[in-house]
Chains A and B, each alone.
Chain A
């Protein structure tokens, strides 16, 4: 069974630029999560989807971050415009039952 796929693996941008990350969950997993992990900290949940509906986006900075999961499968997380403090690893995870989460390798974002 293929795991959670994410791309790109690394991204370097200048502040105020835009960036997008893509995630393809494990086949059949209805729940998809985006996390932000700043160096030295635990992952912070940004948004949780159930199929193509948003379950929780309470910690998503909606003035600059957006996410979509249009067909209930893969998802895109966008930052526009990026700030220096957005430098982090962005993790995508999926779950079949909303319990165990399976994580992708992450996208390491550096904002200069």
Chain B
């Protein structure tokens, strides 16, 4: 069975601090996708990134970066120089090639001014 663990339930940081959100996954599949979604207070889930299990290159997009390590089954998300607008619940998710989507429990990030 597939499983996603986000051990950090809530994180609070002060604006401009860097913050890393952890994601550990379990799957028996050799081919799978990993995702991060943001759910702001408005409630609508926003897609951030998708990663193929064959591609372990880290990715950077502006202030966001992702570290995928197959050896530890982790797909961590770092926000550099956090801003108040980054306050949201962040979900890590796993799917085996477009099916059987499993979301983690989420990490609530509060960025304080």
B residues at A contact (CB < 8 Å): 4, 33, 35, 37, 42-47, 50, 91, 93, 97-106
Contacts and interface: CB of A to CB of B under 8 A. Distances in A.
Interface centre among A31, A41, A101, A106, by most B CB within 10 Å? Answer: A101
A72 interface: no
SS class, residues of chain A in contact with chain B = strand
B47 A43 contact: no
A55 interface: yes
Contact of B44 (A31, A42, A97, A105): A105
B104 A31 contact: no
B45 A43 contact: yes
Interface of A: 31, 33, 41-45, 48, 55-56, 89, 91, 93, 95, 97-106
A42 B100 CA distance: 14
A102 B47 contact: yes
Given A31-B98, A43-B91, A97-B98, A103 B106 contact: no
Given A43-B103, A44-B103, A103-B44, A98 B98 contact: yes
B73 to A, nearest CB: 18
Contacts of A45: 100-102
Contacts of B106: 41-42
B98 A105 contact: no
Contacts of A100: 35, 47, 50
Contacts of B43: 89, 105-106
B103 A56 contact: no
Nearest to A33: B101
A79 B22 CA distance: 35
A91 B101 contact: no
A36 to B, nearest CB: 11
